[in-house]
Amino acid sequence: MRRVVVTGLGCITPVGNDVASFWSSVTAGTHGIAPITRFDTGAMKVKIAAEVKDFHPELYMEKGEIRHTDLYAQYALAAAAQAAEESGISGKIAPERFGVYIGSGIGGISTSIAETQKMLEKGPEKISPFFVPMLIGNMASALVAIKYGAKGPNLPVVTACATSTHAIGEALRAIKYGYADAILAGGAEAAINPLAMGGFANCMALSTASDPDSASIPFDRRRNGFVMGEGAGVIVLEEYEHAKSRGARIYCELSGYGNTCDAYHITAPQPEAEGSSRVITLAFEEAGLEPDEKLYINPHGTSTPLNDKTETLAIKKALGDLAYRVPISSTKSVTGHMLGAAGGAEAIVAVLALETGVVPPTIGYKEPDPECDLDYVPNQKRAYDADKALSLSLGFGGHNAAILFNKI
């Protein structure tokens, strides 16, 4: 069976627009949550978010392209460019063997708002001819493929907050079973606007805290919702022998993937964590590995009351007593919830935890919750020589995904 390794990383996040600054912020516990600057929040219930700062799309795109590309796709192009450059894959692979699996949970929602307003004010004849390409959620994957001439498999996944993790897992299998030799995989999101923020607030998903320091506090008893984030996370997955033959830097192996559905509710997790525990077991089974104390877990960890207690239960059901002896940290305490991009950024965290021997903290953690009683690496990073790292994502609709990395 073909093995799959990670040879490049790229990200745009609320705490850094490249991997080095992102990792520095995540391990230092420096969050990117602040009052919203994109629009007037006077009428909004929620007034804080984790915005990307100082993003310069002209570093990655021609100026003429920027106007015709939604922000979520700009983030994807930037993260993919970083990952591809670090990997050195461009020009070293047959175009038909090079794929792109970059998804988005929502796609070009800001474009939709702008064009709807234009139609209502000026009539349908004023709608941009670029509206549909800017709106649809597959366009980030398409634009990256166009940029790199990647003519192999292309699969833009849409599974809400599990999007990136499913994209990476499906890319693993495409390479493993011989459909491609390398794939740019991950996700992107840009939904900090009045419509998305109002919708998430009205379905009681967002934190109502006004203090940015105590808004995204996964597993803490005081948690009351997630903080909206944005950005992109993309990794290069490559067949092991292909990567070795061209002398690529290899971070680690991606060896397992789990994909389940709760089939229970449109937003709430299944209370007994049946699907979310089974997805962990499936990832280990595919990898042919057993969980042990050299495991690090980057959970979904959204800071919502239901997710965090249910995910804690899922980990305990999957790992048994071992669950109490492995470090678990939610980097959403730093980045907020990047929605469809979250799993891409968090996959990078998992990879770098193996690479550096450091696991980042869950910041803002002050008051333990009896229903969340595991080791969440509170407030300070920790030296930890893990040889396996599991990243979990759980999306609206009951979509569960897990990917398992291991040292080679």
Active site residues: 161, 300, 337
- For tokens 């299944």, the residue is 270
DSSP 213: G
Tell me the two tokens of residue 119: 């139609």
Residue type, 41: T
| Upper half-sphere CA count for residue 194 (Cβ side, 13 Å) | 9
Q: How far apart are CA 158 and CA 139, in angstroms?
A: 12
- For tokens 């990395």, the residue is 405
Q: Distance of CA 345 to CAs 13, 232, 342, 398, Å?
A: 8, 7, 5, 21
Q: Give the CA angle between residues 291, 297, 302 to the nearest 5°.
A: 140
Q: How far apart are CA 314 and CA 299, in angstroms?
A: 10
Q: Give the CA angle between residues 106, 110, 115 to the nearest 5°.
A: 120
Close Cβ partners of 332 (under 8 Å, ≥ 6 residues apart): 216, 218, 226, 227, 229, 300, 301, 302, 303, 338, 342
Close Cβ partners of 295 (under 8 Å, ≥ 6 residues apart): 322, 326, 386, 388, 389, 390
- For tokens 């978010």, the residue is 49
Tell me the two tokens of residue 28: 């230092």
- What angle separates helix 71-87 from helix 139-148, to the nearest 10 degrees? 40
| C-alpha distance across the termini of the chain, in Å | 16
Q: Which residue intervals of 51-108 are DSSP H helices?
A: 63-66, 71-87
